[in-house]
Amino acid sequence: MIRAVLAVCLTVALLAAVTPAVDEGRERRTAIHLDRVVDRIDRAVRSLQAHEDPTAPSVAGARRLVSVHLPERSWTAVGARLWIDGERDQIGYRLDGARARRTRLPGVDLRTPDGRVVLDGGSRRRLELSLVRDDGVGVAVG
């Protein structure tokens, strides 16, 4: 009986000691994933600017598709939200319980015609990026 109680106490103590490291690993893994998503969007935007000609917003032109998957909250990932804000020309994300991380893409005029694009944890979406000429040249995200 005493051995069982000691085993339970030892298990609880080990879990209490390991939990902060597990949480930090989950946060780091999710942040790395989201940094890669931001990088993929940045590369697609730069590719459009370097290799394509802008078109009017209503005309189908060159585009880049970027598939985005935000992990669900689990044992290996924390909850997260990613957004693209055309008003501020920013891409950002926030992990559960952490400060928001924002990235500006220098030299890029982001446009989100339907308002801010927001993806929550567990969501999948294919972003369509196109180079448009309307009151200047910008990259439309839809």
Residue 84: pLDDT over 90: yes
pLDDT band with cut points at 50, 70 and 90 for residue 19: low
pLDDT at residue 40, rounded to an integer? 95
Q: pLDDT, tens digit, for every residue of 87-135?
A: 899 999 999 878 999 999 888 999 998 889 999 888 899 999 999 998 8
Break the chain into its structural domains and give their ranges: 2-141
Query: Got the DSSP string for 68-91?
Result: EEPPPSSSS---EEEEEETTTTEE
Chain centroid, CA 112 distance in Å = 16
As a whole number, the mean pLDDT across the chain is 87
Selected residue with higher pLDDT from 98 and 32: 32
Q: Is the dihedral of CA 20, 22, 24, 26 positive or negative?
A: negative
pLDDT of the residue at 61:
85
Residue 57: the pLDDT is 80
Contact between 89 and 138 under an 8 Å Cβ cutoff? The reply is no
